[in-house]
Every structure is written in structure tokens, then in C-alpha cells.
Chain A
Amino acid sequence: MSEEPQTSDTELLHAIARGDELALAALYDRYSSILLGLILRILHNRPEAEDVLQEMFLQVWRRAADFDEARGRGFTWLVTLARSRAIDRLRAVASRERAATAAMHESHGDVSDASDDVLRSEQAEIVRRALDGIPEEQRRALVLAYYEGLTQSEIAERLKQPLGTVKTRMRSGMIKLRELLGEQMRSVRIGS
């Protein structure tokens, strides 16, 4: 994923840690659309999502020095920040819109292949296919956790399933996802 002929995410994050505003602008330009897509998927509210996006990049600016490439990719760090900010916001605004809309968005059906970045859309396609390969009830649990910010107890309540069952489904779902992502990556590499 870091084969792009541009400055790597890690390099950009190091530059940001040194106070390089250009690097922040570059990282923003690279990921703001995909991160806003994720935040919007969680919040279902565009002004709030944009607000969270801005807050999140300010956090990147202040905390870039915390990023440790030995622990994972820069993208993963950004996604983790974005998600945790979005979920914090979601919990702060409570359940006003959530009750109404969340149930409608459990599926991953609102994904699209519209991306100006061919490679990234290729990756998106890999993940989409991987998600399709996960048994339905496992995928539902993952989706509720990842995109709705629900805890496993909340998911159990939502799905009216025993907590133990939900735990098992989530674990199995993650293990399957990893397996399928690995397979898909290999097949793409071989194919390309």
C-alpha cells in the first residue's frame, strides 16, 4: 500500500511532528475524502462529520509525534483517530438520529466504487469482497461495531442475541476478515 510514488504517509507524519504545515496539508489532501466517508457513515450528518474531520486533523497536527510506524501504518493511525473521534461525537449527540437511522445502515450496501484513486478503489474492492465472504450474522456484528460504534453488549441488545454469541460472532468475523483480506491481497498481487 505504500508503493505510491509520492511521499509516504510515515514521512508525512514525521514532517508534521516537526511542525511542517505543508505535510499536514498534503496528508489532508490525501485522506480527507476517505476519512470523511467513514466519519459520515458513522455520524450520518454532514456538518458534524466535517467538524469531526477538522478536529481530527488538528489532533494529527498536535499528536503526530505519537505515531509509531513500528506499530502500524499511518493510514491505520488516521482511521483509528477518525473513528474514535466520530464515535465520541456520536455518543455525545446521543441517540437522536441514531435510533432512526442506524438500523437502516447495518449493511455495507452503501459503499460505492466512486474514487479518483484507482489503487485505493482497488483496495476498497478487496475489502468489499472480503466482507461479502463473511457469514451474514458475523458481518452484521462487525458492521454494528465498526460503523455504528456499538459495544458488544449493545450489539447483543440490538440483535436480541446472547452476549456470548455476539462475542463469538465478532471474533470469528474478524478472523475471517483477516483471512479473506490476506487471500484477496495475494490474488491481486498475482493478478497484477
Chain B
Amino acid sequence: MKHEEYKELLEVAALDALDAAEGIALEAHLAECATCPAEADAWREVAAALALPMTPVKPSAAVRERLLEAVRTQSPPVHAVAAPDAQTNGEGVAAQTSNVVSLDSRRERRGVIISKPLLTFGSIAASVAIAALAVTLALLWSQNKALKTQLAQMSDSLRQTEQEIGSLRADRELLAAPDARAVALAGTKDATKAQARLTFDQRTGRAILVAANLPPAPAGKAYQLWFIAGGKPLPGGLFRPDATGHAELHDTVPTAGRNANTFAVTLEPQGGVPAPTGSMYLLSAAS
């Protein structure tokens, strides 16, 4: 339909006499038309005049009582009753209302008298609900906290595992690499049963020393690996064997030590030293 056609429905719409389909269509038009809503309102004003010639009929007093009773027991449309406004209006109204005093006092007491049992019940119910909510929240919070801790632990352990796997993979690659150098070390007179094998990648310097049957390192002491190139020993990593004399050292050979021909292990102070000072326990076969 066009705007003009909708416009022609407005007079009948003011009488609420449109058939359902037309009424719905007009509602839709009113929602988007700039001029029709005001015109519809104007026609309502005309239609309302038709209420005037009716014989006024005074309702029975009971209707008024029931109405005001219902109003008192229902929550008001706006909860924040503006006291100053209510007073101003109350004065204007007072002149026309016969039972102003009783109404007024009832109104003022409404919050106390009518609502008190409700309020009490309501506040108990509300307290219970709030307490339950608080408990639930606390539970959820602690659960959440525990889960977070657990998650943090698990991700730590996952990271650790990943690192271990990474390092094992690197070890495996190193040990399996065709160009890796493998050097056997034999025990000296101080540890005749000891033996070790050093594998290292000359390009990256990555090295693994696996030793067996080493005497336990005394307190404050540790074994130190040496790379001897051109007669000069370069310091390597420190390690302590386990109770069975087994040890594993992951180390990186310094650039200068990658061409070393001789490798040795000495017993040194726990912190390590720049040049060997202690007895030698392992030594590579001269090449």
C-alpha cells in the first residue's frame, strides 16, 4: 500500500474498527511514517469526543475501594516516589479528595505496614539467596583457583617433558649423526675400571659424555671435562656420578676445543677451575 492509502485508514483506526490485517499493516506503516503518527493521534482526539455524550454513571463506592486497595498492594509503577513532587500534587489533589487524610497516611505507612511481612520474608529469602550465592561463588572461586594451579603445574611439567624430549631427540640425533666424533676415554691408575665415551658435533660443539664406574666424587668436589688442543687444556662442564659410578654430561665444546685431540676428566673443586689442578681420572687414547 502507498502512504495515501494508509492515511485513509487513520479515521477508522481511531475507532479501532479496522479489520485485523489492515490494522497490522497500518501499525507497520505508523512505525516508519513521519507524518501519519501525529495524524493518527489527532483522529484519536476526535474519536474520544464520542465518549462525552454518554450519560455519566457513578460507580458504586466498592469499585473505588477495591481499586485503591489493589493499588496499595501492588508495587507502584515507579519505586522511587519523589516526596516533594508527591507533596505538591497532594495539595492540589487534597481539595478534591474526600479521604485525603486516610489515604495519605496509608500511603506513607505503606512501605512499613503493608510491606513489612513481605519485607521480612523478602529479606530472609534474599539473605538466604545471597548466602547461597556467596557460597557458590566461593566454591567456584576456589575450584577455579585449584584448577588454575593444577593447570599451571601441568603446563610446567609439560614444558619440562617437552624440553626433555627435545634434549633426548638432540642427543639421539647427535649420537646417530654420521659426522659426529666419538672418542673413548679410559680410566687412569686412580680409576682403573672407569671408562667413558665422548660424542660431539664438530660443527655445533654439542657434546655428550657418558661415563661409567667412576669413584664417587668427595663432598665439595666434582669431575671436570677438559678439551686439550695444542697442549692447552680448555675447561669443559662439571658433573658428579651417581651411586653406581654412572654419569652423563651434556656440554658444548668451545670453538677452540673442537679440534682437540685429547680429552680428559679430572677431579676438581665443585665450582670448577679454569685450568686443571686435581688428579686425572679419565683420558682419551692418544691419537
Interface residues of A (CB under 8 A from B): 6-7, 11-12, 15-26, 28-30, 32-38, 40-41, 46, 49-50, 53-54, 57-58, 61-65, 71-73, 75-76, 79-80, 82-84, 87, 108, 110-112, 114-116, 120, 123-128, 130-131, 142, 145-147, 149-153, 155, 167, 170-171, 174-175, 177-178, 181
Query: Do A50 and B63 have beta carbons less than 8 Å apart?
Result: yes
Across the two chains, which residue of chain A brings its CB closest to B56? A33
Nearest chain A CB to B72 CB, angstrom units: 7
Q: How many A-B contacts at CB < 8 Å in the complex? A: 220
Q: Say whether chain B's binding surface is mostly helix, strand, loop, or mixed.
A: helix
The answer to whether B43 has its CB under 8 Å from any CB of chain A is yes
Contacts of A108 in B (CB 8 A): 53
Expressed in whole angstroms, the Cα–Cα distance for A131 and B51 within the complex equals: 12
Contacts of A6 in B (CB 8 A): 92, 95-96
Expressed in whole angstroms, the Cα–Cα distance for A19 and B259 within the complex equals: 97
Given contacts A18-B86, A152-B19, A178-B46, contact A131 B71 (CB under 8 A): no
Of residues 83 to 135 in B, which have CB atoms within 8 Å of A's CB atoms?
85-86, 89-90, 92-97, 99-100, 103-104, 106-107
Query: Do A28 and B67 have beta carbons less than 8 Å apart?
Result: yes
The answer to whether B18 has its CB under 8 Å from any CB of chain A is yes
Query: Do B74 and A127 have beta carbons less than 8 Å apart?
Result: no
Given contacts A22-B93, A114-B55, contact A145 B77 (CB under 8 A): no
Across the two chains, which residue of chain A brings its CB closest to B100? A22
Query: Do B45 and A167 have beta carbons less than 8 Å apart?
Result: no
What 9 A-B pairs are tightest by C-beta distance, nearest first?
A19-B76, A174-B11, A37-B54, A33-B56, A145-B17, A7-B92, A76-B48, A15-B89, A145-B15
Given contacts A21-B72, A114-B55, contact A80 B48 (CB under 8 A): yes
Nearest chain A CB to B114 CB, angstrom units: 12
Task: Count B interface residues, CB 8 Å.
Answer: 61
For A63, give its contact among B46, B48, B63, B77 (CB under 8 Å): B77
Nearest chain B CB to A95 CB, angstrom units: 17
Contacts of B52 in A (CB 8 A): 34, 120, 123-124, 126-127
For B51, give its contact among A79, A150, A167 (CB under 8 Å): A79
Query: Do B86 and A20 have beta carbons less than 8 Å apart?
Result: yes
Contacts of A33 in B (CB 8 A): 56-59
Q: Say whether chain A's binding surface is mostly helix, strand, loop, or mixed.
A: helix
Expressed in whole angstroms, the Cα–Cα distance for A58 and B76 within the complex equals: 10
Expressed in whole angstroms, the Cα–Cα distance for A147 and B60 within the complex equals: 22
The answer to whether B242 has its CB under 8 Å from any CB of chain A is no
Nearest chain A CB to B10 CB, angstrom units: 9
Expressed in whole angstroms, the Cα–Cα distance for A38 and B56 within the complex equals: 8
Q: List 29 A-B contacts (CB under 8 A).
A: A7-B96, A15-B85, A17-B78, A18-B78, A19-B77, A21-B107, A22-B94, A22-B107, A23-B93, A25-B68, A25-B93, A30-B96, A32-B64, A37-B56, A50-B59, A54-B66, A63-B77, A65-B77, A79-B51, A83-B51, A111-B53, A112-B55, A123-B49, A124-B52, A130-B49, A145-B16, A150-B17, A170-B11, A177-B49
20 extra A-B contacts, CB within 8 A, seeds A61-B76, A114-B55:
A6-B92, A7-B93, A15-B93, A20-B85, A22-B86, A26-B97, A33-B56, A33-B57, A37-B54, A37-B57, A53-B63, A54-B63, A58-B70, A72-B45, A80-B44, A83-B51, A120-B56, A151-B19, A167-B12, A170-B12
For A142, give its contact among B15, B95, B97 (CB under 8 Å): B15
Contacts of B19 in A (CB 8 A): 151-153
